Amino acid sequence: MCDHHDHPAPKRAIALEDGRDHDRDHVAWSRRDFMTGATAAAAGAFLLGTGANAQTVRASSHTSLLRSLGERETDRVLVIIQLGGGNDGLNMVVPHSSDAYYRRRPSIGQARSSLMMLDGDYGLNGAMSSLEGTWGDGDLAVIHSAGYPNHSRSHFQSTDVWASGTGRNEPVSSGWTGRYVDRAFPSHVSEPLPYPVAIRIGGASSLLVRGSGGSLGMSFSNANQFDRLAQTGQFYDESNVPNTLAGDELRFVREIYNSGLRYRDAVYNASQAGKNDGEAGYPGGGLASSLASVARLIKGGLPSKMYAVSIGGFDTHSNQLNRQPGLLRQIADSVRAFYADLEAEGQRVLTMTFSEFGRTTNENGAAGTDHAEASPMMVFGAGVGGGLYGDGPASVLANLDARENALPMSVDFRRVYASVLGDWFGLEDEDTSAVLGDFSPLQGLVADPFTVDTGDVLEAQGLRLSVAPNPVVSRARVEVALDEPALVTLEVVDLQGRTVRVLADRALPAGVADVDLEVDGLAAGLYLVRLRTPRASRTVTITVVR
């Protein structure tokens, strides 16, 4: 038996010539996320026991960050798009003014004439040209060379780092979007919300909806599984089984699975209430289908705060020019269609991309690139401060030693996360630090930072909504303030996304209007008062008491 613990570290599998090590990393990466995703779905679906003795097994993880987001008086939403495989950022955000870029990539470098220009130094890959209007409107931000110190070039390790929001050598057991549990809202462990605060559709890392103890998230393996629930209210067809003893057992298992989904009713009701715009122009592919599902839930009134979707195939060790552009086109066209589908609801939705690592500055012998370190992030939406952030690679490449083959980090990715948590969702500094550590947000990345108003008032861009008194016993006054005349829909929505009162559906003049809210007939509990105009929407949480 060996007592010597100084074994050599496993070889980093970063290129095709690493052979079995590279393949092993891929297998571990894929198998781990498949198993954790399947386990999360199954744990949330099954009941223990039968009849009166049945007990629900909670789904993914209960986290106080998601809990606190569930209780924020904001209707803002974050959508995360994971680019699986390690996206080549240099061929996505191209430093066209850099001679060093073209020297290092004589075969796969993107010609300046093919790009969608961002400024005098950078342009987007021409496959993303459908985003030209988005960039022109100031609704796209690009963060150059995002990464983390002491970078791992392993799919497995680096995906965990990005999804967990921790350092490479820190233990990983929860995602950054799924942490900070019992600290601020311990009572909700025993009184869970009736809707998921985070939803994962597709192959995005399961850590994004996982924390350290119970469940506030819901996972769908793909958009087809979501569609099945949206159409039937079930994950599995209980009738489509063989007329045999084994079929009876399968039917029983499916019945248990379907009935045990904790958030099924909330998601089903929202999916029925929300309808996709047939003119939005979604392209084909899994990413577009997943984003269409997200748009349907948002438009259907589901109060979920975070959604995670994914697109894979970015591990372009070879033949990159025939592989990456199609993937980039799917991202651009899908995001553009997503916001066209959301229309006014898009004002409250921020969309962010990340990939586990970038790729080498030099092309390899197979017309591709290998695993490296930093890579750009993109943030979309009317709430973003459009433009370029961080030090771009153009000047870095000019000074990079010929033997160096990876872009160093310009922006720690956790600063982007801090901007989302603090400026977009309005979490206090100490709460953000508890989730990520001490990372300062990127100034200006969120154009309209959210601030909590203790008077139950939400105000932005001349649109104000308030409810008093709150909690409500029998009657309250809803105050709506507009800076210009607008067609207004004002309604009360339960936490399953169902409209239970329509308070106004008409044009209102500029200024302040008071609307009566009667809560007779409503059960005690939490509700949302939602105001929508063609420009934006606002939501206030109210509590009905008896």
Model confidence at 516: pLDDT above 90: yes
Using CA atoms, how far apart are residues 533 and 546, in angstroms rounded to an integer? 32
SS3 162: helix
Q: How far apart are CA 200 and CA 190, in angstroms?
A: 23
pLDDT at 432 over 70: yes
Lowest mean pLDDT among 62-76, 80-94, 195-209, 216-230: 62-76
Strands 525-532 and 486-493: antiparallel
**546 three-class SS:** coil
C-alpha 170/C-alpha 155 separation (Å) is 16
Mean pLDDT of 45-62: 30
Q: Read off the pLDDT of residues 54-109 as tens digits, 9 standing for 90 and up.
A: 222 233 333 455 555 555 557 889 999 999 999 999 999 999 999 999 999 999 99
Those residues whose C-beta lies under 8 Å from the C-beta of residue 28, and which sit 6 or more positions away, are: 156
Fold of 29-436: Alkaline Phosphatase, subunit A (3.40.720)
Radius of gyration of the chain from its Cα atoms, rounded to whole angstroms: 24
What percent of the chain lies above the pLDDT cut of 70? 72
**What's the pLDDT tens digit per position in 479-493?**
999 888 889 999 998
Is residue 218 scored above 80 in pLDDT?
Answer: no
Helix axes 245-260, 20-45, angle to 10 degrees: 80
Which pLDDT tens digit goes with each residue over 163-183? 777 776 665 666 656 553 333
Residue 422's contacts (CB-CB under 8 Å, 6 or more residues apart) are: 428, 429, 432, 441, 449
pLDDT of 261 > 60? The answer is yes
Question: pLDDT-based confidence at 369, cuts 50/70/90?
Answer: very high
Distance CA 422, CA 455 (A): 20
Length of the chain: 546
CATH superfamily of 457-544: Immunoglobulins (2.60.40.10)
Parse the chain into domains and list their residue ranges.
Answer: 29-436, 457-544
Mean pLDDT of 483-507: 86
DSSP at 441: P
> Which pLDDT belongs to residue 346?
93
Residue 545: its pLDDT value, please? 77
Same topology between domain 29-436 and domain 457-544? no
